[in-house]
Amino acid sequence: AFETWDEPRVDALLLALAQAVAANAEALATATVKETKIGNIADKTVKNMHASLGVYQTLAGKPGIGPLGGEAVRGVTEIAGPAGVVFAIVPVTNPVATAIFKTLITLKARCSVILSFHHACVAVGNTVCEIMEKVLTQHQAPAGLMQWVRKRTSRAKTAKFMSHDGVSLILATGGAGMV
């Protein structure tokens, strides 16, 4: 159902998601530092702003599916289509910034996403996902378009997601062992 959304409607959804996270950037940064004991609030706030509004600005007005342009330069027409279900691993170092940018790029490509947070940042992961879920509901996005692992995860559970037949693409961010 989401694949049929036109670019202006998708961009409106992405803008609302970016604005919702940006509006909560400092509170989410505070929660991240408190939960993970990594980094500082000021820097995480800037990262949350850039990963939301900054990434949105790079995507807005550009095609997420269909012909991507560039034919005149290379003589080739690139046509993008949704990959399907994307499993996105979110590290402890920047959980909010990683979650919003992976959600934005995945939805721009008309894919659904399942976010999996490092076990040491599940609480802030739940918070940012609840913010995004509210926006998705307000914009009448298909149910289940964005999902997340809500409880503490493990490498075994992550491996099951990564090898699941229904997962088409993996966005891995984290330590060498996970990636």
Give all strands (DSSP E) within 37-145, no chain letters: 66-67, 79-80, 85-90, 112-117
Half-sphere exposure of 6 (CA within 13 A, CB side): 1
Cβ 109 vs Cβ 57: under 8 Å: no
CB-based contact 25:48 (threshold 8 Å):
yes
Q: What does the pLDDT look like over 130-161, one tens digit per residue?
A: 999 999 999 999 999 999 999 987 788 888 89
Beta bridge partners of 62: none
- What does DSSP assign to residue 163? H
Token pair of 17, please?
Answer: 């998601």
pTM of the model: 0.94
The residue with greater pLDDT, 79 or 149, is: 149
- Among 143, 95, 102, smallest CA distance to 119 is for 95
Q: pLDDT of 1-17, one tens digit each?
A: 999 999 999 999 999 99
CA gap 131, 154 in Å, rounded = 24
Buried b / exposed e along 83-103 (16+ C-beta atoms within 10 A): eebbbbbbbbbbbbbbbbbbb
Give the per-residue pLDDT at 157: 87
pLDDT digits over 114-124, tens only?
999 999 999 99
pLDDT attached to residue 153: 77
Q: What is the pLDDT of residues 13-66, one digit of tens each?
A: 999 999 999 999 999 999 999 999 999 999 999 999 999 999 999 999 999 998
